[in-house]
């Protein structure tokens, strides 16, 4: 059986969401962020991070790699769309979420929540929020043309980007200039599979 090591309070949530969305049987092994550098877990991921997936002798780390693997192996159209051109779009948006959105959201959270107050840099948080405006406009323009990133169907690309952007609420990102992006995000995060994940450890 598939095993997913991690906690829903981390990037592991996007992998748990994918597993729920795909409807595959799996075992969730709760591992807190602080436990990721334990000797036992370092055997699974020598980088000392979560999540980690085990499936039929394969061990994978990196949440986006896990989700793309799961969608390709277990997904059917439309969550894993047909054709190399559509797969290219899935990769594009998934990597876009990791390069254009996540570093800026993390900069906000680190400097407003995670670091001790005397180590926080409010200027860095403000700059990160300013830098988010351009990619959010790209997203807003895209979902203004159709319901989801690749068209009218929810795919793993939407799940991956929405999984990254789930941190936006915590970061108190202002979506007033990009209402279509906010509508899209709320629609994705409101899916039943994601709601089930939020109740996990």
Tens digit of each residue's pLDDT (9 = 90 or more) over 38-83: 999 999 999 999 999 999 999 999 999 999 999 999 999 999 999 9
41 CB-near residues (< 8 Å, 6+ apart): 5, 31, 35, 48, 50, 52
Q: Does residue 142 lie within any of the structural domains?
A: yes
Residues 174 and 109 in one domain: yes
Q: What is the DSSP letter of 178?
A: -
Residues 90 and 69 in one domain: no
Residues 92 and 169 in one domain: yes
Write the CA distances from 38 to 34, 55, 60, 186, 201, integer angstroms: 8, 21, 17, 36, 18
Residues 68 and 123 in one domain: no
Angle at 201 between CA 106 and CA 4, to 5 degrees: 85
Residues 106 and 134 in one domain: yes
Domain count, the chain: 2
Residues 147 and 169 in one domain: yes
Residues 40 and 91 in one domain: no
Residues 62 and 106 in one domain: no
Which of 75, 99, 116 is at the close of a domain?
75
Q: What is the mean pLDDT of residues 16-28?
A: 98
Q: Is the pLDDT of residue 36 over 90?
A: yes
Q: Does residue 199 lie within any of the structural domains?
A: no
Residues 43 and 24 in one domain: yes
pLDDT tens column, 122-138: 999 999 999 999 999 99
Residue 129's domain comprises 84-191
Which of 75, 94, 110 is at the close of a domain?
75
Cis peptide before 51 (omega within 30 of 0): yes
- What pairs with residue 52 in β-bridges? 5, 61
Q: What order of strands is seen across the sheet that includes strand 26-30? A: 26-30, 2-6, 52-55, 58-61
Which of 41, 75, 109 is at the close of a domain?
75
Q: For residues 189 and 68, give the distance between their C-alpha atoms in angstroms, rounded to a whole number.
A: 18
Name the pTM for this structure: 0.97
Residues 97 and 61 in one domain: no
Task: Give the residue among 9, 21, 4 at the shortest CA–CA distance from 194.
Answer: 21
CATH number assigned to the domain comprising residue 30: 3.40.30.10
Residues 55 and 108 in one domain: no
Residues 7 and 34 in one domain: yes
């Amino acid at each position: 059986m598939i095993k997913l090591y991690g906690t829903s309070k981390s990037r592991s949530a996007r992998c748990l969401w994918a597993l729920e969305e795909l409807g595959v049987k799996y075992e969730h092994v709760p591992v807190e962020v602080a436990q990721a550098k334990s000797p036992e877990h370092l055997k699974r991921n020598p980088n000392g991070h979560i999540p980690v997936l085990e499936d039929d002798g394969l061990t994978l780390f990196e949440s986006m790699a896990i989700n793309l693997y799961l969608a390709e192996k277990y997904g059917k159209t439309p969550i894993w769309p047909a054709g190399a051109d559509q797969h290219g779009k899935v990769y594009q948006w998934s990597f876009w979420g990791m390069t254009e959105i996540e570093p800026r959201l993390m900069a906000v959270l680190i400097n407003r929540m995670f670091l001790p107050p005397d180590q926080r840099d409010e200027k860095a948080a403000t700059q990160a929020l300013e830098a988010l405006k351009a990619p959010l406009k790209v997203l807003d323009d895209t979902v203004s043309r159709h319901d989801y990133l690749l068209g009218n169907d929810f795919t793993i690309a939407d799940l991956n980007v929405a999984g990254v952007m789930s941190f936006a609420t915590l970061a108190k990102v202002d979506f007033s200039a990009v209402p279509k992006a906010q509508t899209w995000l709320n629609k994705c995060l409101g899916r039943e599979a994601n709601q089930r994940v939020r109740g996990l450890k």
